[in-house]
Structure 1
Amino acid sequence: MNNRDLVDRARHVGLSMRWRDAAGQIHRVSNESVRRLLAVLEGHGAPVAAGLPPMIVTVMGQLTPLSLPDGTQATDFRLETETGEVVEGPLRRIRGRPALPPFRSCGYHHLSIGPHATTLAVAPPACPTIDARMDGAGGMRPWGVGAQVYGLRTPGDGGIGHLGAVATLSRLAAARGADALAISPVHAMFAARPDQYSPYSPSSRLFLNVLLADPLAVFDTATVQAAALRNGRAYVDTVRMLEDAPLIDWPQAAARRYELLRRLYEERIVPHPPAELAEFRKMRGVALEQHAVFETLHAYFSTRGGRGGDWRQWPVAMRRPDSPEVARFAYEFASDVNFHVFVQWLAARSMEQACGAARAVGMRIGLVADMAVGVDPTGSECWSRQQEFLVGASIGAPPDALSPVGQDWGLTTFSPAGLRAGGYRAFIETVRAGLAHAGGIRIDHVMALERLWVIPQGGTSAEGAYLSFPVRDLMRLVALEAARANAIVIGEDLGTVTSAFRTMAHKHGIMGMNVLFFERTPQGAFRPPVTWSANATAMTTTHDLPTVAGWWQGTDIDWRVKLGQMAPGVDGVTLKDERENDRTALWAAMTTSSAGPAARRKPGAEKPPATAAGAARVVDEAIGFVARAVCPLAVIPLEDLLGLHEQPNLPGTTSGHPNWCRRYPGMTATVLSGVDARRRLGRLRAGRSS
C-alpha cells in the first residue's frame, strides 16, 4: 500500500493524519498507527449498495439537500409523520441538487422517494433553554446543587448512597430555592465486577447502576428490614460497619446489597410477580433481555478464569447475543436473567421517583443526569451492539505537558460508520436513556460529538489519532431528543475546544461550563463574573478538580506530590509557589466590589491563610462570586456547600487516591441544615438575586 492510498483511506473514515498540540506544534500520526486503526474502523458499517441512507437529519424550517441513488427518476416525495399525517409534494432544487421542502413538524418521520425509503429526523433549531424550563418566571436566576449519588447517606443504605437519598436531597434543596440537582452518572456497571465502580466507566449507558436502586421504591420499610435480618447477624453487623465508614468499601458493600436484593426478589417477587414488572420487561424489549443475559453470562464466565470478564475471550458462540447457544444459556439460567431484569426495574422505579420528587417540590429544572463519554469495551453495550462500537480501539487524550505519555481511559466509543449504518440508533437511544427521568443532561467531554482521540488496541496513547464524527447530525439529534424530553443540555467543554465547535454548540443550545478555576485572562487574573458566558453553567468546581477548600489549602498538590503525579521538571515547591500566586489573584478578584475602573476592595478583605479556617472564608466568597455570574444557571457541588477539602476523583490515578469512594458527612436529611451550609446557601441565593 502506498502512502497516497493510506491517506485516502484515512480521510474516508474520518481519521486525521496530523494533529496540533496545546503549544501549536503539528505532529504526524505514524503509518503503522493508521493501519492498525483502519483495521478497526473499516470493519464497521459497510455502505449500503443502493437506496437512501438509513436516516437523514435536518432542521425544521430548512430546505434539506439530498443525494439520491444513481438512476432515481422520482421527482416527488411522500412523508408520513410520527402522528400519522401524510405530506406529499414535488422535490425542490438547490444548485442543481434535489431537496426536500422545509417541514415544521419535529420528530422521526417516514420518508419515501420513488422506491427508496428512510427515516427523516426533523430537529428543532436548538435545545430548550433555561428560560423555557423556568416558564418565563422572573425573580431569582436559577441555581442548583451537584451531588455524587453514591456518597449520600441514608439510614440502612448498606454503605452505598442510593436514589432514595437523591429524592430526599431534591426536597431539601428545593425548599431552599434550588431549581436543579445535578447528579453523578447512574449508568449500569458490572454485577460481577464490584471493584470497577467509576461512574464514568460503565458497562452500558442504556441501563442503570442497580447498586444505586432504593429498595423502598417498591417495598415497604418493614419488608426491607425483615429481609435484612433474615440474612443473619453477621450480615447486619457488616452492613452497620459499612454505613459508618467514611469511604465506600465497594466489593463488600456491593456483595451485601446484592444479598438483600436477591432475598427480596426470591421471597417477594418470584411468588407473586407484579404486573408492572412484566410491563416494564415488555416495553424495554430485546435490549433489556440482552443486558440481563449479559450480566448472567459475565458472572458465569468470571468465575471460570481470569479472562472470563472480557466477552471477547468467551467461547465463540457466546460472543454473539443472537446465537442459539446464548438463547439456550438464557433458558437454562432463566432465574438469574429474571433477577437482573427485576433489579433494573427497581432501579428505574427509584430513578423515576427521584425525578418525580424533584418536580413535585417545585424544581423547575429538576434532576440533571450525567452521560459518560464512552463505555467499557468488555461491557454489555458493546457485546450487544458490536457493529456500532469500536471494540478494537480505546479513547483518551494525546500527550501533553501534564501527561507526556497521553491518556488511555480504558473506554471505547461509537463507530462513526456504524452510527450512520444504524440510522444513529445507538446514539439516539443513549441520549434518550439519559433523559428518561431528568430535566436536563450533562454530556461528559462534549467535544466527542466532533472528534475523539482513538488508540489502537494494545497501543500507547502516543500511537493514537483524532477521529471525526458527524457533529452536525449529532448536535441536531441532541436538540431533538432534548426537545422531546423538554430538557436542558450542558456540555462539559473544559480543555482545548475550537471556537468553531463552541459556535456550533451555542447555535444548537448546548450550554458550556464556566468553572471558577479556569475563568482567567491570558495574564492570569481571574475574570469577574459579569464577563462569564451567557451560554454556560457557572460552577465553583467539578468532580475532577479540587474543592475550593482543598484548592486553597493545597490538598490536591499534597496528593500529587505523594503520588508522584507531576509534569517533568516540576516539583512540589514550584506547585505551591504557583498556588500562592493564584490564591492572591483569586482573593483579589473575589473581594473587588465592582469590575469597573473605580473598583474597590471590600472592608476587611485581607487574604485568609491557607488553613482550614481561612479556607472556610474563601469558600463563602467563592460561592457568592460564582453565583453572580451572568450564566443562566449556577450549580454548586455539595462538597463546596459543606466546605470539604477532599475531591471525589483525582484524574490520572487508579490507585493511591480513594476515587469515587468518599461519603458525605452526616445524613442526607440534615446535610443542608448545618450553620455553614445555610450561610453558603444564603450567599448563593443572594448572588443569583443580584
Structure 2
Amino acid sequence: MDLEKLLYLQGVGNGFVDCDGHYHPTPAADRQAILQAMCHAELAATDGQLTADWVTQRIDLLDAAPWHNFLQPFQWSVADTPAIRFRCPQAYTGSLMLNITTERGISLELCLAVAQLPVVGDYYTDNRLYLERELQLAQFLSAEQLSAMLPGYHQLTLTAPDCPEGMNSATGEGVWMLSPRRSYGADLPQQLSRKPWGVSVQLFSLWSRQAGDSRRTGIPVKIGDFRVLAEFIRLMASKGADFIQLNPLHALPLQDVEAASPYSPYDRRRLHPLYISTSMCPEACHSDWQAELPNKMPTNNNGSLWIDYAAAFKVKVVELKALFRVFKRYPAQHPRRQAYARFIDEGGQDLQFYAVTQAQEVAAPWLKNADFYLYLQFVAEEQLAYCQALTQEYGMRIGLVRDLAVGAIGAGTEVRQHPQQFCTHASIGAPPDPFAPQGQNWG
C-alpha cells in the first residue's frame, strides 16, 4: 500500500521547521488522521479506514485519471500573461477547438494545431505517454480580444473532431481563473509625496478617557466600540495616517461570555454586536430610550487595565435591548424601518439563519427573539459603514482594513449552515513560535 505517495498527492506534509531552525517530524498517526479528515466523505464506503484498495484508487484518481481529460476542472493564470494548459496523448497531432466564455458573457473561439504548442509536462500511464501543452493567448489573439480577458472566472471548452484514443471524451470543460499579478495595486506612491502608512489596532482594546480621568483610574473596561473607533479615525487622520488595520470584527457566540477571541468567530459573515456604540445609534436619541434602561445599571469598571468581559456583556446587553424596544415602536413607514427591511432582504437566508440560531442558543440576559439579532446586525453594519466613510471624509487614502479569521468554530452558524465548505474533522493552526510557544489552533 503506497500510503506515502497518497499523503504526498493530498499535500499532507511530513514535518515542519520551527522558529529556531529545528526540524520536527509529524507522527505517522497524525498524518493519517489528517488524510482521513481531508477525505472524510470519500472514505464513507470503507467506514473511514485507509484500505489498500481505497489508497490505490485514490492515487489513480489524483495522479493518473486527470490525464484522460483535455482540461483540468480548474486552472489559473496571471492576467497580464494569459495562458491555458491542456492535456492529450502524444500520438494525437490533430486540431482542437477552444471556446472561452468570460464571466461577462464574451465568447471567443480558437482552432489549435496541437503539435505547434510547446510541451510543459508529461505523464506515462496505461502504456501511453500524455503531454501537457500550453497556449499563450498573446500569440493568438488581437489586442482588442486580449483586452476582453479581464480578471475573473471564465469557462473553457476544448473539443476534438473525434475522441482520441486514451481520452474519456472528445470534449473537455473547466474553469479558468485570471488573476491580477498584485491583489491591490493602488497608485498611492504617485498620489502622495511620501510612503503610505497606518496603524494596526485591536478594536476591543481601544478606550477613550473621559474628562477628569487620571491615567490609571476610570479606565472603562467595556469593549471598544465604533464610537471610539470614530474618535481614533479622527486622531490618526490628523497625524496623516492612510489606513487603520483592525482585528477581525466577526460575530462571536453570544451564549458564551468568555468566548472573546476575535479569531474564533461564530460567523465570519456577521459583525459582533458588542462593537455597537449606543451613543451613535438614532434610537439612543429618542426620549424613550432612557426610560427603557433599568434604574440600576450594571457596572463594568473593575479599576484595572484588563477587560472584564462578563461585566461588559451585561452593560451592553441592557443598552442594546433598550435600543431595540425603541426601534420596534417606529411605524412601518419610518425611514429607519424601511432601511432595516431593505437590509433584511439583501441579507437573505444566510442572515436569517444566523439570527434564528443565535436567538435559540442565547441565555439570559439576551433576548430569544430573532428580530433582535437582525436589528443588531443592521445597526452594526450601519456604524461600520459610517466609520469607513469617515476615513474618506478625513482624507485617508485607504481607510479601514479588516482582518479575516482563518477559521470558524464548528458550533457556529457559518459552519453549521454550510458544512460542505469546511473540513469539520480537523482544525488549522500554526506551529510553536516565540509568540505562542504552545502553537496556535485557529479552528
TM-score (norm 1): 0.47
| 109 and 148 in structure 1: CA distance in 2 versus 1, 3 angstrom threshold | closer
**1:407 and 2:426 matched:** no
1:66 equivalenced with 2:78 (yes/no) = no
1:76 aligns with 2:97: yes
Quick one: distance in 2 between partners of 1:392 and 1:229? 49
| Aligned match of 1:361 | 394
TM-fit CA distance, 1:208 = 1.4
User: Within 5 Å, which residues of 2 pair with 1:217-616?
Assistant: 218-219=281-282, 221-223=284-286, 226-235=288-297, 238-239=298-299, 241-242=300-301, 246-269=305-328, 271-272=330-331, 274-299=337-362, 336-398=369-431, 406-409=438-441, 411-412=442-443
Structure-2 separation of matches of 1:56 and 1:279: 38
2-side partners of 1:254 and 1:295: how far apart?
15
Distance 1:55 1:194, change over 3 A: farther
Secondary structure of 2:403's counterpart equals strand
Would the alpha carbon gap of residues 400 and 263 (structure 1) be closer, same or farther in structure 2, given more than 3 Å must change? closer
- 1:200: Cα distance to partner? 1.9
1:359: Cα distance to partner? 0.8
Cα drift, residue 122 of structure 1? 1.4
Give the direction of change, closer, same or farther, for the CA distance of 1:248–1:23 in structure 2 (3 Å limit): closer
Q: CA deviation at 1:398?
A: 3.7
Quickly say closer, same or farther: Cα 1:22–1:148, change in 2 above 3 A: closer
- Could you say what secondary structure the match of 1:261 adopts? helix
| Percent identity for Structure 1 against Structure 2 | 23
Answering whether residue 111 of structure 2 is matched by residue 90 of structure 1, we say: yes
Larger % of helix: which?
1
C-alpha RMSD of matched pairs (Å): 3.7
* Cα distance, 1:351–1:68 mapped onto 2, change above 3 Å: farther
Query: Normalising to structure 2: TM-score of the pair?
Result: 0.71
Distance change (3 Å), C-alpha of 1:400 and 1:293: same
Q: What residue is the counterpart of 1:150 in the other structure?
A: 204
Tell me, yes or no, if structure 1 residue 40 matches structure 2 residue 37: yes
Q: SS in structure 1 opposite 2:8?
A: helix
CA distance in structure 2 between the aligned counterparts of 1:45 and 1:297, rounded to whole angstroms: 33
Question: Which amino acid is the alignment partner of residue 377 of structure 1?
Answer: G
Q: Specify whether residues 256 and 158 from structure 1 end up closer, same or farther in structure 2 by C-alpha distance, changes over 3 A only.
A: farther
CA deviation map 1:570-591 (0-9, x unaligned) = xxxxxxxxxxxxxxxxxxxxxx
Structure 1 counterpart SS, 2:416: helix
234, 238, 245: which is aligned to 1:182?
Answer: 245
8 Å contact 2:432–2:439 — kept in the other structure?
Answer: yes
Partner of 1:455: none
Q: Assess if the C-alpha contact under 8 Å between 1:184 and 1:370 holds in 2.
A: yes
Q: Which amino acid aligns with 1:254?
A: F
Quick check: 1:215–1:346 contact (8 Å CA) kept in 2? no
Q: Distance in 2 between matches of 1:74 and 1:182?
A: 52
Do the aligned partners of 2:245 and 2:400 also contact (CA within 8 Å) in 1? yes
* In 1: Cα distance, 2:101 partner to 2:424 partner: 36
Change (3 A) 1:38 1:280: same
Aligned to 1:140: 194
Q: Tell me the amino acid that sits aligned with residue 248 of structure 2.
A: P
SS of structure 2 residue aligned to 1:61: coil
CA gap of 1:401–1:233, structure 2 versus 1, over 3 A, is: closer
Q: Distance in 2 between matches of 1:45 and 1:348?
A: 40
> Aligned partners of 1:162 and 1:397: how far apart in 2?
29
Question: Structure 1 CA distance, aligned partners of 2:370 and 2:237?
Answer: 39
Indicate if the aligned counterparts of 1:218 and 1:349 stay in contact, CA closer than 8 A.
Answer: no
Partner Cα separation in structure 1 for residue 154 and residue 88 of structure 2: 18
- Per-residue deviation, residues 544-572 of structure 1 (Å, max 9, x unmatched): xxxxxxxxxxxxxxxxxxxxxxxxxxxxx
- Structure 1, residues 598-633: CA drift from partner, whole Å, max 9, x if none? xxxxxxxxxxxxxxxxxxxxxxxxxxxxxxxxxxxx
Partner SS for 1:66: strand
Deviation at residue 228 of structure 1 after TM alignment: 4.3
- C-alpha distance in 2 between matches for 1:293 and 1:18: 43
CA change 1:43–1:270 in 2 (3 A) is farther
Distance in 2 of aligned mates of 1:246 and 1:151: 10
**When the two structures are aligned, how many residues end up with a matched partner?**
369
Q: Against the structure 1 CA distance between its residues 218 and 126, is the aligned structure 2 distance closer, same or farther, given a 3 Å change threshold?
A: same
Deviations 1:78-128 (A, max 9, x none): 333344433333357341535452554433344140565544321111133
Structure 1 unmatched ranges of 5 or more: 304-332, 413-690
Query: Could you tell me which of 105, 122, 138 is aligned with 2:178?
Result: 122
Q: Give yes or no for contact 1:207–1:344 (8 Å, CA) kept in 2.
A: yes
Larger Rg: 1 or 2? 2
Q: State how far apart, in whole Å, the 1-side matches of 2:392 and 2:324 are.
A: 30
Could you list the per-position Cα deviations for residues 617-675 of structure 1 after superposition, in whole angstroms to 9, with x for gaps in the alignment? xxxxxxxxxxxxxxxxxxxxxxxxxxxxxxxxxxxxxxxxxxxxxxxxxxxxxxxxxxx
Q: Secondary structure at the match of 2:75?
A: strand
Classify the secondary structure of the residue corresponding to 1:234. Answer: coil
Alpha-carbon separation, structure 2, partners of 1:402 and 1:248: 21
Distance 1:277 1:175 in 2: 34
Of structures 1 and 2, the one scoring higher in RCO (CA 8 A, sep 6+) is 1
- Structure-2 change in CA distance of 1:8 and 1:251 (3 Å): same
Cα distance, 1:22 vs structure 2: 4.2
Partner of 2:58: none
User: Is contact 1:76–1:88 with CA below 8 Å preserved after alignment?
Assistant: yes
Q: Any conservation in 1 of the 2:221–2:305 contact (CA below 8 Å)?
A: no
Structure with bigger strand share is 2
Distance 1:385 1:227, change over 3 A: same
CA distance in 1, matches of 2:325, 2:95: 60
Kept in 1, the 8 Å contact 2:283–2:327? The answer is: no
Aligned with 1:58: secondary structure? strand
Question: In the aligned structure 1, how far is the partner of 2:198 from the partner of 2:433?
Answer: 34
Question: What is the DSSP-based 3-state SS (H/G/I as helix, E as strand, rest coil) of the residue aligned with 1:65?
Answer: strand
How far did 1:189 drift? 0.7
Amino acid at match of 2:96: T
Q: Quote the Cα distance in structure 2 between the aligned partners of 1:18 and 1:147.
A: 33
**CA spacing shift, 1:180–1:25, aligned 2, 3 Å:** closer
CA deviations 1:114-165 (Å, max 9, x no partner) are: 5655443211111334x6135x13433332233321233357x992221222
Q: 1:279 to 1:297 in 2, by over 3 A?
A: same
1:199 matched to 2:262: yes
* More off after superposition, 365-374 vs 89-98: 89-98
Structure-1 residue corresponding to 2:229: 166
Q: Aligned equivalents of 2:39 and 2:409: distance in 1?
A: 21
CA 1:208–1:117 in 2, change beyond 3 Å: closer, same or farther? Answer: farther
